[in-house]
Amino acid sequence: MNTNALQNALALLLKSSPRPLVEAAPDTARLPARAVGQAYQGLLVAELPNGRSLIEIEGVRLDVKLPLPMRVGDAMKLEVLALEPRLTFALVGGAAGTASDPVAMSDSARNLGALVDRLSREGPAPAASGATPVLASAPADTAAFAASLKTALAQSGLFYESHQARWVAGELPLADLMQEPQAALKAATEAVHPQAIGLVQQQLEALDTRQLVWQGQVWPNQALEWVIEEDANRESAAVDAPAVWKTSLRLSLPRLGEVSATLAIRGDQVHIAFSGLEAAAITAVRTGQVELRDAFGNAGLELLEIKVDRDEA
């Protein structure tokens, strides 16, 4: 677990009041290494043709996306929120004064930072898992199956705190919140409930790797490993290009054997890659390509590519 990156991310997440964010493009020059919380004065020096802007801080020019309309020559005050995976500031205000002392991290951030250190010494987090099968039997309705998988992930406890916020805002029914593991825990004096340590470790692991992993039975005696992640190559993609999300499924089916499939999704376009397939599975994929494309089309998605790699074992 990358402790430094997590602590930077925690500093970003735990600021007491939301402020507009200014995120530098991944391929721009970097400021000299400073602590999270350091304040700078920046100057808007140019507007770029792609809707982004060029700002200058201490003689270094950065390609950024400004959250508010500004004019060339306008000054701004920025506070460093994260150094990794890319430089991110909070837009504190307009020009005035010079760089201030670093902002102190809150007690919550310090406590979580200590927890990160502890968990990083305890090894990798287990994947999120379902205690009972998602379905009572093999699915006949794929749309209903997809909805059930979505519910299983949503109720895994990985998003419990954000769901609490939605409940407080009246956006989520209490009955839905009570389906998550943390809702069943009794009050404890520790900052993190002992029985929730595993879930917190999974949350921090997901924050560190930007990857969600779910393992469990989708119906009795049918195990599934499911991974969701943002494409690692996103950093080198065009600034305004939509994010590429990947979801990978691995399971062993009675007639087709081991099946591993990765879907790469950019906007409404999809690429699928099957790997390690046995002969029967390869035949099933090839004969079912038209039906598969139609199914994606009915869901509003365009299947651009189907790749099949045979098991060489």
Token match 């994260």: residue? 82
Q: Where in the chain is the domain with CATH 2.40.50?
A: 3-107
Task: Considering only residues 200 and 29, tell me which one the structure prediction assigns the higher pLDDT.
Answer: 200
pLDDT score for 24: 84
Confidence of residue 176 (pLDDT cuts 50, 70, 90): very high
Q: Are 174 and 181 in contact, with CB atoms under 8 Å apart?
A: no
Residue 43 has pLDDT above 90, yes or no: yes
Most confident of 95-99, 111-115, 218-222: 218-222
pLDDT score for 138: 87
What angle (nearest 5°) sits at the alpha carbon of residue 186, between those of residues 147 and 107?
A: 90
Least-confidence region, from 53-67, 104-118, 217-231? 104-118
Confidence of residue 302 (pLDDT cuts 50, 70, 90): very high
Task: Considering only residues 111 and 239, tell me which one the structure prediction assigns the higher pLDDT.
Answer: 111
What does the pLDDT look like over 122-162, one tens digit per residue? 555 556 666 688 998 888 888 888 899 999 899 999 999 89
Given 1.10.1060, 2.60.40, 3.30.70, 2.40.50, which CATH number is that of 3-107?
A: 2.40.50
Residue 95 has pLDDT above 50, yes or no: no
Radius of gyration, alpha carbons of the chain: 23
In whole angstroms, give the CA distance from residue 64 to residue 57: 12
H-assigned helices in the chain: 3-13, 107-120, 142-154, 160-168, 174-177, 197-209, 279-287, 289-298
What is the side-by-side strand order in the sheet with 128-129? 128-129, 211-219, 222-230, 244-253, 257-266, 269-277, 302-310
Local structure of 238: helix, strand or coil: coil
What does the pLDDT look like over 221-261, one tens digit per residue? 898 999 998 875 654 455 556 778 899 999 888 888 889 99
Q: What is the pTM for the complete model shown?
A: 0.57
Least-confidence region, from 18-22, 178-182, 247-251? 18-22
